[in-house]
Structure 1
Amino acid sequence: MTVAGQRLDKALADVVPDLSRARIQTLIAEGAVSRDGAVLTNGSSKAAVGTYAIALPPVASATPLPQAIPLTVLFEDADLIVIEKPPGMAAHPAPGTADGTLVNALLYHCGASLSGIGGVARPGIVHRLDKDTSGVMVAAKSDRAHAGLSKLFAAHDIERTYIALTRGAPSPERGRIETQIGRSSSDRKKMAVLKAGGRNAVTDYIVQARYGVPAKAGTAPLAARVACTLHTGRTHQIRVHLASKGSPILGDAVYGSGSPAGAVKASIAEAGLTRQALHAAVLGFVHPVTGDALRFETALPPDMQTLETLLAAL
């Protein structure tokens, strides 16, 4: 097959049919393609005569491996484990996050006792928190607990309260947000409130504190502490709902359109907050095996505590 003179990425895809053109483009961008020992960086350049080499990275294991990652365990028995997930930890492996996840930590901590209903990639996982959201999570160690917890979450028979630090404050000071949430038509990586389609999403909220309150009556505060109770569990539900009320969560790079006031922005920087200021503070449910009523409540993590202290001083 004569490929000299053709566009490089297309030529290589023709010669190596096991690799797609898109895959070839990625490998070129990663510096994994060379000709006669010289690394190639432009997939749109013309292919020339020579000896080409493609360095394929090792195939990642589809099965997560145990990792000795410290866990803050709030409760554990033979059927389930309740932990406080720190910010920055993904619930399970996904593209771009191969390890260092809660699943890797649970596999090390629980060993073979972890429920396998969730599949090899998500053993024990019955619900998730966003990677940069901290707070209480429960995982199943037995299949009967997994099935029981899944039914509770599907029926929304779970107490879940989150604390958010927001730009401004939603109005009125307490209320219910009920909308349809689905994929944004303009950005498929984001969720959005939809006029039609999507799935029903219900959040109750109450403004617990207002920070940087202007002297002029009726003027919105610079920031607020808002408690949100979930009645459904849609992807990014609280983040989307608070943003729809004009009070996005501080530090939310996805849904926090607009910039907070200068004093709030300075407080975020001083607190070292590099994520959305959202914490799953309360998780309550009936133990699916023993029938015991369980309820767990945790304080804000250090970054949110520091930010709240600074906001309260505005």
Structure 2
Amino acid sequence: MLLNDLEITSEEDDLFEHYRIVADKGQSLMRLDKYLSLHVANASRTKIQNGIDAEAVKVNDQITKASYKIKPFDVVTLSLPHPPRDTEIIPENIPLDIIYEDDVLLIVNKPTGMVVHPAYGNWTGTLINALVYHFQNLPTGRNGEGRPGLVHRIDKDTSGLLVIAKTEFAMTFLARQFSDHTIERTYNALVWGELKEEKGTIRGNIGRNAKDRRVMDIFDDETQGKHAVTHYEVVKPLRYVSLIKCNLETGRTHQIRAHMKHIGHPIFNDTVYGGDKILRGISNGNYKTMVENCFSLLPGQALHAKSLGFVHPTTKQWLQFDTELPENFQAIVNKWENYVQYQ
């Protein structure tokens, strides 16, 4: 695990930079050890403090203490006595749910709980590990950063459709459609509460939270976030929750999750945005038991990438794909339907 070697003090020349983090301009004053614990995956506060004591952490190229208060634009570096992990991707024989394939692309239905690409804490068992096992010579795009075939991604606990490129031309052609926002993407989400309007549009610039970069916030100031637009429509109101359909006009990190939280309707069982608590109805009795049973059916947020449409790279024809809700997601919807029907 990263940081295991931090108790070992090494000479400057023997250290390899693993992290370089620039504090956002909106960063509030925060202890260095707490700041790093929010930004370095799988590292406890104790290990961070050991690393600081071992002089493996610097702020603005200066060795400092754990109590140092991080300020906007501070540059924090973390170095270890071994080089960063090799970016070689290990092929793994993981089954793929391929719903379409031709010479230049394929459409994969990703299950809930599968990470899309390797990263700290998830070097194996990802969609990319499976893809490099089943397919040879997938393109890596212009950055070549260990994401062969990947044109876009969805969160670990979001299920649904992804398009994978099999050639460099297909990757470039598809990536351009995502950049131009001409890709059609529809998601189903189960959110807390009943929305006042059957249809609506959420606009809000999305950027990372200054204190916890795992969380995306909504900003009025466009210099603090990227322009984001989500269109929603209520599919089925269920008194305490609602099944909705969302169409993305843009594709920002956690866009639907952050936008729904922003308007007061977090996604059901979303642990990052507060949807994993009872937000409507009473918190006891049969109702509480039913909600907790629903929580137990999903490892994360009730969000599914249901449909995907785009222009094919070579035929130039419009392709449209659709998939049903996963069984556990549908089971939750059924439980809510049954509950409200007999109450």
**One-letter identity of the residue aligned with 2:278:** S
Q: Judge conservation of contact 1:74–1:82 (CA < 8 Å) in 2.
A: yes
Q: Judge conservation of contact 2:177–2:183 (CA < 8 Å) in 1.
A: yes
Q: Is 1:256 the counterpart of 2:274 in the alignment?
A: yes
Query: Residue 11 and residue 160 in structure 1: after superposition, are their counterparts in 2 closer, same or farther (change >3 A)?
Result: closer
RMSD across aligned C-alpha pairs, in angstroms? 3.1
Q: Is 1:308 the counterpart of 2:333 in the alignment?
A: yes
Distance in 2 (CA, whole Å) between partners of 1:87 and 1:17 is 44
**One-letter identity of the residue aligned with 2:260:** L
- The CA deviation at 1:243 is 0.8
- The CA deviation at 1:187 is 2.2
Q: Is 1:272 the counterpart of 2:297 in the alignment?
A: yes
Query: Residue 72 and residue 191 in structure 1: after superposition, are their counterparts in 2 closer, same or farther (change >3 A)?
Result: same
Q: Judge conservation of contact 2:112–2:299 (CA < 8 Å) in 1.
A: no
Query: Residue 88 and residue 10 in structure 1: after superposition, are their counterparts in 2 closer, same or farther (change >3 A)?
Result: closer
Q: Is 1:199 the counterpart of 2:226 in the alignment?
A: yes
Query: Residue 248 and residue 14 in structure 1: after superposition, are their counterparts in 2 closer, same or farther (change >3 A)?
Result: same
Aligned to 2:69: none
Q: Is 1:116 the counterpart of 2:112 in the alignment?
A: no
Distance in 2 (CA, whole Å) between partners of 1:265 and 1:15 is 57
Distance in 2 (CA, whole Å) between partners of 1:60 and 1:295 is 39
Q: Is 1:62 the counterpart of 2:87 in the alignment?
A: yes
- The CA deviation at 1:138 is 0.3
**One-letter identity of the residue aligned with 2:317:** D
Distance in 1 (CA, whole Å) between partners of 2:185 and 2:231 is 11
Q: Is 1:209 the counterpart of 2:227 in the alignment?
A: no
SS in structure 1 of the partner of residue 316 of structure 2:
coil
SS in structure 2 of the partner of residue 192 of structure 1:
strand
Distance in 2 (CA, whole Å) between partners of 1:11 and 1:248 is 41
Query: Residue 15 and residue 179 in structure 1: after superposition, are their counterparts in 2 closer, same or farther (change >3 A)?
Result: closer
Q: Judge conservation of contact 2:161–2:306 (CA < 8 Å) in 1.
A: yes
Q: Is 1:98 the counterpart of 2:132 in the alignment?
A: no
- The CA deviation at 1:209 is 0.8
SS in structure 2 of the partner of residue 256 of structure 1:
coil
**One-letter identity of the residue aligned with 1:142:** T
- How many pairs were matched up? 276
Q: Judge conservation of contact 2:278–2:291 (CA < 8 Å) in 1.
A: no
**One-letter identity of the residue aligned with 1:92:** H
1:226 to 244, 248, 273: 244
Q: Judge conservation of contact 1:162–1:279 (CA < 8 Å) in 2.
A: yes
Distance in 1 (CA, whole Å) between partners of 2:193 and 2:325 is 20
SS in structure 1 of the partner of residue 155 of structure 2:
coil
Distance in 2 (CA, whole Å) between partners of 1:299 and 1:154 is 27
**One-letter identity of the residue aligned with 2:298:** L
Q: With structure 1 as the length reference, what TM-score do the two structures score?
A: 0.79
Gaps of 5+ in 2: 20-32, 34-42, 55-80
Query: Residue 43 and residue 160 in structure 1: after superposition, are their counterparts in 2 closer, same or farther (change >3 A)?
Result: closer
Aligned to 2:14: 18
Query: Residue 105 and residue 12 in structure 1: after superposition, are their counterparts in 2 closer, same or farther (change >3 A)?
Result: closer
Distance in 2 (CA, whole Å) between partners of 1:264 and 1:280 is 28
Aligned to 2:111: 86
Query: Residue 189 and residue 120 in structure 1: after superposition, are their counterparts in 2 closer, same or farther (change >3 A)?
Result: closer
**One-letter identity of the residue aligned with 2:235:** Q
Distance in 2 (CA, whole Å) between partners of 1:74 and 1:247 is 32
Q: Judge conservation of contact 2:191–2:242 (CA < 8 Å) in 1.
A: yes
Gaps of 5+ in 1: 1-8, 31-40, 46-55, 212-220
Distance in 2 (CA, whole Å) between partners of 1:129 and 1:175 is 23
Q: Is 1:161 the counterpart of 2:186 in the alignment?
A: yes
Q: Judge conservation of contact 1:205–1:228 (CA < 8 Å) in 2.
A: yes
- The CA deviation at 1:186 is 3.4
Determine what percentage of the aligned residue pairs are the same residue. 39
Distance in 2 (CA, whole Å) between partners of 1:12 and 1:60 is 18
Aligned to 2:317: 292
Q: Judge conservation of contact 1:71–1:83 (CA < 8 Å) in 2.
A: yes
**One-letter identity of the residue aligned with 1:163:** N
Q: Judge conservation of contact 1:28–1:42 (CA < 8 Å) in 2.
A: no
Larger radius of gyration: 1
SS in structure 1 of the partner of residue 324 of structure 2:
coil
Aligned to 1:239: 257
